Amino acid sequence: MSLANSVLAVNDNLPIRTDSPVHSGKVRSVYWLTESDSRRLIEQKGYDVPADTPLAIMIISDRISAFDCIFHGENDLNGVPGKGIALNSISNHWFKLFREQGLADSHILDIPHPFVWIVQKARPVKIEAICRQYITGSMWRAYAKGEREFCGIQLPDGLQKDQKLPELLITPSTKGILTGIPGVPEQDDVNITRDDIVNNYQAFGFESIADIELYEKLLKQGFAVIESALAELDQIFVDTKFEFGYVKDKNGQSKLIYMDEVGTPDSSRIWDGAAYRDGKIIENSKEGFRQMLLNNFPDPDILLNKDRMTERSALARDNDLPTEIMMDVSNTYVGIAEKVVGHKLNLSKNPRTEIIAILRDQFDLII
C-alpha cells in the first residue's frame, strides 16, 4: 500500500446518506444525518440524548493547514500520515478525562473508527476561547512592538520571549463574522475583551450572563487537567484554544459543553520540558511546521501579512513539500499522541475503505 493511500486527504465525498450538503472545514467534514437515521441510531445505540436530536458523522482528515492555507507534499502526499488519528486520539483522551473529573461533556456520542466521531448537534458559542500560560507567538510579536494590552488585560514591562506569564490569561477572539456588536470589528478572529462578552452575551451565543463565568471556569479547569497530565510526561502546555456550545440533555435541559477538539497539536502549543529547561524550544505541535515554513520560504511576510492572501494561496498550491518534511510532521503528531494516550497508535493503511465498511456494516449509513 502506498504512503499516499494511507492518507485521508479528501473527506467530504464519502457515500454517507444525508439530506443536506456536507460541511467541510480545514481538517474535518460534517455529514448531517437524515432525521430518520438520527432517530434510529439514538434508539439502537442508546445515546443519552433526546429522541429528536439531529446527529452528524464528523470525519477528520490528514490535511495540514497553516496560515489559513492547506499544504501538501510531493508524490501526491496530500496530507500527513497519522495526523488525523493522532488528533482524534488526543481529543478523545482529554474529553474522557474531563468527564471523569466532572468538568463537562463533549459533543461526541460514539467513536466508530479512529477517524470518525458521531456527534450531536450543538449551538456553538461564537468565541474562540484561547488560554495562554507563556508569552510566545503572535502575543510576543505584538508585545515586542510595544503593545501591553491584550483583550483588555494589561501586561507588565520586562517580559522575555517564551517566558511563563504571571498567571493564565484568557484572550478570546471572535468565531465567525459577528455584526452589530459595538466596538467589535465585523471580521473573523478579532480579539475581544471580557466586557465585550458581558455587554453582548446574547450576540456571542450565551444563554445567560452566568454562563460566562461557567465558560471561564471550564476553560481554566480544562487547561489545568491537560497541563497536569502533560507535566507528568515532561511536556509543557503553553497555550490552547477551546470551543463551547449548547446541547440538550435527555430531559431537554440546555447545557454548556466542550466541542471541536481539545489539547491537540493543531489547537495548542506543546513544548518539550527538558529542552525548555535547557533554554531551547522543541515544538510538539503544529507550531514547528509553521516555523519551518517561515524559515524556508524566502519571503515570510507572505505567510504573516493578511493583505497578501492571494500570494499565500499560490505559495501553498504551487509548492510540493519534500516527503521528509511531511514525515517529520507525522512523527511529531504521532509521537505526542502516543505519549498522551500511553500506547502505540494503530495507523490505517486505507482509512477511506475502513470507514465506509464500518459505517455500512455497523450503522447502515452508506448509500
pLDDT tens per residue, the chain (367 residues)?
Answer: 578 889 999 999 999 999 899 999 989 999 999 999 999 999 999 999 999 999 999 999 999 999 999 999 999 999 999 999 999 999 999 999 999 999 999 999 999 999 999 999 999 999 999 999 999 988 999 999 999 999 999 999 999 999 999 999 999 999 989 988 998 999 888 999 999 999 999 999 999 999 999 999 999 999 999 999 999 999 999 999 999 999 998 888 999 999 999 999 999 999 999 999 999 999 999 999 999 999 989 999 999 998 999 999 999 999 999 999 999 999 999 999 999 999 999 998 899 999 999 999 999 999 9
CA separation for the pair 150, 355 (Å, rounded): 43
What are residue 228's phi and psi, to 5 degrees? -65, -45
Grouping H, G, I as helix, E, B as strand and the rest as coil, residue 96 is helix
Q: pLDDT at position 187, please?
A: 87
Q: pLDDT at position 138, please?
A: 87
User: 246 forms bridges with which residues in the sheet?
Assistant: 123, 256
The bridge status of strand 64-66 relative to strand 69-73 is antiparallel
* 123-277 has CATH 3.30.470.20 classification: yes
Burial of 324: CB neighbours in 10 Å, binned 0-12, 13-18, 19+ = exposed
Domain with CATH 3.30.200.20 in the chain: 4-121+341-361
CA separation for the pair 88, 254 (Å, rounded): 26
Domain with CATH 3.30.470.20 in the chain: 123-277
pTM: 0.94
CA separation for the pair 82, 327 (Å, rounded): 9
User: Residues for the chain: how many in total?
Assistant: 367
What are residue 103's phi and psi, to 5 degrees? -80, -75
Region of 25 please: left (phi>0), alpha (psi -120 to 50) or beta.
beta
Residues with Cβ within 8 Å of 133's Cβ and at least 6 positions away in sequence, in order, are: 164, 165, 168, 169, 223, 227, 237, 238, 239
CA separation for the pair 330, 104 (Å, rounded): 31
Q: pLDDT at position 189, please?
A: 86
What are residue 73's phi and psi, to 5 degrees? -110, 175
CA separation for the pair 34, 14 (Å, rounded): 15
Q: pLDDT at position 129, please?
A: 92
Q: pLDDT at position 19, please?
A: 86
Q: Which fold has domain 4-121+341-361?
A: Phosphorylase Kinase; domain 1 (3.30.200)
CA separation for the pair 265, 284 (Å, rounded): 7
